[in-house]
Structure 1
Amino acid sequence: MATWKDIENAEPGFAARVRAIFDAHKHKTIATLRADGSPRISGIEAGFDGGELTFGSMPRARKGDDLHRDPRFALHSASVDPPEGDEAGWPGDAKVAGRAVPAGPVDGMPGEMFRAEIDEVVVTGLNAAATALVIETWTPGRGLRRVER
């Protein structure tokens, strides 16, 4: 498992691109696991603070209950369409998967914060000519890899 700071230290350029994609929009999507093991998708806000990726859950929210029962999650940035006529200008999508660790109350409001222990970070975008998909994946064990297809 890694913290966001570990990724920033290992691959600062990649981490900066991932953060820019996440920071471009307030709302993200998180996948958690229901009690029966089926997936649940929920809207969420997430942020980067002090070398940590954090997100919160309101009291009695299903996603918070899910994370207490099974901490595995996948967090996805907002998805936007590539700019028409400038498809290569699309920043892409970013995803983070790992485990959520309870991190105390939300400052100034009801709810609970979680910090991410990260297993994988992925950016999916287009090459400079916008003719192929580019998938960049970082994991603690393998580091950064790039596939173009």
Structure 2
Amino acid sequence: MTSWNDVEIAEPEFAARVRRIFDAHKHKTIATLRADGSPRISGIEIEFVDGELTFGSMPGARKGADLLRDPRFALHSGSADPPEGAPGAWTGDAKVAGRARSTGDLAGEIPGQGFAADLTEVVRTGLNEAGDRLVVEFWRPGEPLRRVERI
């Protein structure tokens, strides 16, 4: 099991960049697997709580049923376009993948099922300073942070 805290310990600067991207927009997109194995995309909100990346599913929502049946997921941050005239200043977007671990029923005014992410991959995609190359940084448990530039 790899929590968000493990990413922060292993690669604190990278984790901070990724978290800023996730925190910049309220709405994210999660991919889950339907019973027949086909993908399902749903809107979702997340929180970072006590070193965990957490999220929930409302009662009766298909994404919650998907995750209880097959916990594999991919989560994508919101994203904005690169600034006009300064593409290198784009903060980029972030993705994580892993397995959702049920944390039980949500407490509060909105009922539902809670989940915490056991991470298998964390990715930040952006542009280099000149804005002419795509930069992909990715981290996996037990491996060093990798950076790839593409034209």
Q: TM-score range, shorter-chain basis? A: over 0.9
User: What secondary structure is seen at the aligned counterpart in 2 of 1:40?
Assistant: strand
In structure 1, the partner of 2:136 is 135
CA RMSD of aligned residues (A): 0.7
Letter in 2 for 1:125: G
Number of corresponding residues = 149
Greater displacement, 58-67 / 101-110 = 101-110
In structure 2, the partner of 1:102 is 102
- Structure 1 portions without partners, runs of 5+: none
In structure 1, the partner of 2:116 is 115
- State the distance in 1 between where 2:126 and 2:47 align: 22
- State the distance in 1 between where 2:60 and 2:19 align: 29
Letter in 2 for 1:75: L
TM-score (norm 1): 0.98
- State the distance in 2 between where 1:20 and 1:68 align: 29
Give identity over the alignment, percent.
70
Shift of 1:125: 0.3
Shift of 1:18: 0.4
In structure 2, the partner of 1:77 is 77
Deviations 1:49-81 (A, max 9, x none): 100000000001000000001000000000211
User: What secondary structure is seen at the aligned counterpart in 2 of 1:35?
Assistant: coil
Deviations 1:59-105 (A, max 9, x none): 01000000001000000000211111111111001000000000122
Letter in 1 for 2:74: A
